[in-house]
Amino acid sequence: MRKKSNETTLAEAMQMMLSEFRLGSELHERRIQSLWHTLMGKTISTYTSGIAVRKNILYLSIISAPLRQELSYSKDKIKAMINRELGEEYLEDVVIR
């Protein structure tokens, strides 16, 4: 079956809508917030007080100093895990405060 010139797939239409209404970054931020709790587990999620994404940088607020130090050693691994789950290289860096 050939695709006519004025037909688009549902995926293409969704991408165009996200682009038109500039919702892509907000969608990624919400998805990353839910992925954080799934990927990191209950213990780390308990000590996480804030998750934000601005300009493709993930900002994490951790309330436990030892955990903050431990996670700072794993920033590249965290970035790779989340990008793999998103299916694209969205995050450029992870900042832990």
In whole angstroms, what is the distance from residue 51 CA to residue 82 CA? 13
3-state DSSP call for residue 22? Answer: coil
Would you write out the chain's pLDDT as a tens digit for each of its 97 residues?
A: 555 667 888 878 877 876 777 667 788 888 999 999 999 999 999 999 999 999 999 999 999 999 999 999 999 999 999 999 988 899 999 999 9
H/E segment holding residue 83:
helix 75-86
State which amino acid sits at residue 92: E
Structural contact between residues 35 and 53, judged by C-beta atoms closer than 8 angstroms: no
The pTM score is 0.79
For 24-96, CATH gives 3.30.300
